[in-house]
Amino acid sequence: MAQTPASTGSEAHPADPPVARPTLKPRWWRDAVFYEIFVRSFADSDGDGIGDFKGLTAKLDYLNDGDPTTDTDLGITGIWLMPIHPSPSYHGYDVTDYTGVNPQYGTLADFDAFIAAANARGIKVIIDFVMNHSGRDHPWFTSARKGPESKHRDWYTWRADDPGWTQPWGSGPVWHRAGKDYYYGLFWGGMPDLNLANPEVEAEMIRSMRFWLDRGVAGFRVDAARHFFESADGKLSDQPASHDLVKRVRKALEESHPGVMLIGEIWTDVETVATYAGDDDEFHMAFGFTTAGSLRESANDGLKASFNQVQPRLKKAYADRNFEAPFLANHDMKRVMRTLREDPGAMRVASAALFAQAGSPFIYYGEELGMLGGPSGQDEDKRTPMPWTIGGDHRGFTTGTPWRSRPEKPGVDVESQRGKAGSLWTLFRDLIRVRASHKALSDGEVAPVRITGKHRGLTGLIRTHGDEKVLFLVNFHGEKTTPFTVKISEEAEVIFAEGLMGQPTQAKGELSFAGLKGRGFAFVKLR
């Protein structure tokens, strides 16, 4: 591991890549399972109450120890780090240096060591990249707000009056006063939007992304991508120029770093999300917000309706279903276990249904334990410290005072659940392994399944890749089903199931099932 100086500012970074870059096979993400991590809340190595790179590196064996013969690790193969850059906020989405690391998280050398350790275990790392806006305290904006003569003035968007535009999702203002002019900042005044129409800004963003790719990062989760550009008459989302920018960035990065992956945060309906695939020349993946909502809703109300209504929309919207990355919740949402009212059965069927979806799934840290986070609606309560141990003042997260304290209930910790039969952790581990060992699940086509009879909670999917075919059945409802049949002519082999009543039998082009217990599911290989 080469040593490099710690980050000190935009102009002071070493130019030489310090670590060997991982070999990125084309479309490496297609059979990956990702794990989203808020560094501040994952593991604290030095007792200051703030999670850091060294703490995270020490916990990598928990995520994937690099040895396929062990079963004490989750087995994820991708990590998404929420922003790691210097920032005045706890969350980091208001970046003040795109090629530095937050000193609270460690040094650039600590980050390099983390990347090397992750890559050694077969884990690819993507990082959050916030190119829609910088922080208000970024030197570019500090300079720009001084006046029209600043060389960074045109790195942001200014006008002499406030046209009164408001945020698309609410009523907040988007033009903010600085001196006698107004600057555009969609999220709030502390996050001035970068003027991505300025070629200098675009070039700087690409240069910054290459800086991280040179350090062994495998791609980026691109924040707020539907808001890159706004129209002159106040349309603030999904402008053609945003699509064009994504195309140019992807092309530039693929030329210098083949195999790079860009996943977009396009927080809207699936039909709009799908447009960001372009002609396979925009994002490589985008998050499935509509799908996530349907999984939570069906798990919550016990009914198949929400799940079933979304599937045809997905089929219609996506040329390639694996473009969409499914998930249950992320750092902007209540913890899924809280949404599911702490019902462990609901959590189990939601998790199973997640891993049956097309696309590379994303797990939010602690989801595998059923973390609840805090009770308030504040974002901090969605991003609370990870509980590692049964005992200890802070469940093994820190020896000091945690930056945020929202104790989880007994049993919601790694020590209680890791490898224990019947735990949510063990279910996640097993689902990850089932998916990893079946290409039909990780990168297959999706087809609906015809089930006889009326069952409020029973539904499923068929996933196919080449000769491999896997049937997924799930009973979202708490009551067991009556016997049912599925119109399938193949023989069945149960791979992994909970609550399956007996083995399916084949006769006359139909698979007969004795039933699925309440909150049961089954993965069945067909041959």
The residues carrying an active-site annotation are 223, 265
Rule CB under 5 A: choose which of 39, 50, 144, 451 binds Ca ion: 50
Residue 393 Cβ vs Ca ion, minimum distance, rounded to whole Å: 16
Rule CB under 5 A: choose which of 6, 48, 189, 465 binds Ca ion: 48
Counting contacts by CB under 5 A, is residue 44 touching Ca ion? yes
Pick the closer one to Ca ion by CB: 307 or 397.
397
Residue 54 Cβ vs Ca ion, minimum distance, rounded to whole Å: 8
Stretch that binds Ca ion, among 48-56, 179-187, 220-228, 301-309 (CB under 5 A): 48-56
Stretch that binds Ca ion, among 23-31, 37-45, 325-333, 416-424 (CB under 5 A): 37-45
Pick the closer one to Ca ion by CB: 55 or 78.
55
Find all residues with CB under 8 Å of 184, minimum gap 6, and list them: 156, 157, 158, 159, 174, 175, 176, 192, 193, 230
Other CB atoms closer than 10 Å to residue 32's CB: what's the count? 25
Residue 383 Cβ vs Ca ion, minimum distance, rounded to whole Å: 16
Residue 52 Cβ vs Ca ion, minimum distance, rounded to whole Å: 4
Distances (CA, A) of 411 to 59, 295, 346, 367, 370: 19, 25, 17, 13, 9
Pick the closer one to Ca ion by CB: 52 or 223.
52
DSSP per-residue codes, 415-449: HHHTT-TT-HHHHHHHHHHHHHT-HHHHH-EEEE-
Other CB atoms closer than 10 Å to residue 315's CB: what's the count? 14
Name the token pair of 201: 């800004």
Stretch that binds Ca ion, among 40-48, 163-171, 181-189, 330-338 (CB under 5 A): 40-48
Counting contacts by CB under 5 A, is residue 110 touching Ca ion? no
Interface with Ca ion (CB under 5 A), residue total 5
Residue 47 Cβ vs Ca ion, minimum distance, rounded to whole Å: 7
Rule CB under 5 A: choose which of 35, 36, 39, 52 binds Ca ion: 52
Contact 260, 219 (CB under 8 A): yes
Counting contacts by CB under 5 A, is residue 46 touching Ca ion? yes
- Count CA within 13 A, CB hemisphere, residue 224: 22
DSSP per-residue codes, 33-69: -EEEE-HHHH--SSSSSS--HHHHHHTHHHH--S-TT
Q: Residue 494 and residue 329: Cα distance in Å, rounded?
A: 29
Residue 390 Cβ vs Ca ion, minimum distance, rounded to whole Å: 22
Question: DSSP state, 327?
Answer: B
Residue 49 Cβ vs Ca ion, minimum distance, rounded to whole Å: 7
Pick the closer one to Ca ion by CB: 46 or 67.
46
Stretch that binds Ca ion, among 46-54, 56-64, 70-78, 286-294 (CB under 5 A): 46-54
Q: Residue 110 and residue 282: Cα distance in Å, rounded?
A: 32
Pick the closer one to Ca ion by CB: 52 or 408.
52
Q: Residue 108 and residue 101: Cα distance in Å, rounded?
A: 6
Pick the closer one to Ca ion by CB: 48 or 244.
48
Pick the closer one to Ca ion by CB: 55 or 520.
55
Site string for Ca ion, 434-463 (x = CB under 5 A): ------------------------------
Taking the CA atoms of 316, 244, 35 and 376 in sequence, report the sign of the dihedral they define: negative
Q: Residue 382 and residue 396: Cα distance in Å, rounded?
A: 19
Stretch that binds Ca ion, among 39-47, 126-134, 154-162, 294-302 (CB under 5 A): 39-47
Nearest Cα neighbor of 55 from 44, 64, 63 is 44
Chain residue at closest Cβ approach to Ca ion: 52
Q: Which residues bind Ca ion (CB under 5 A)?
A: 44, 46, 48, 50, 52
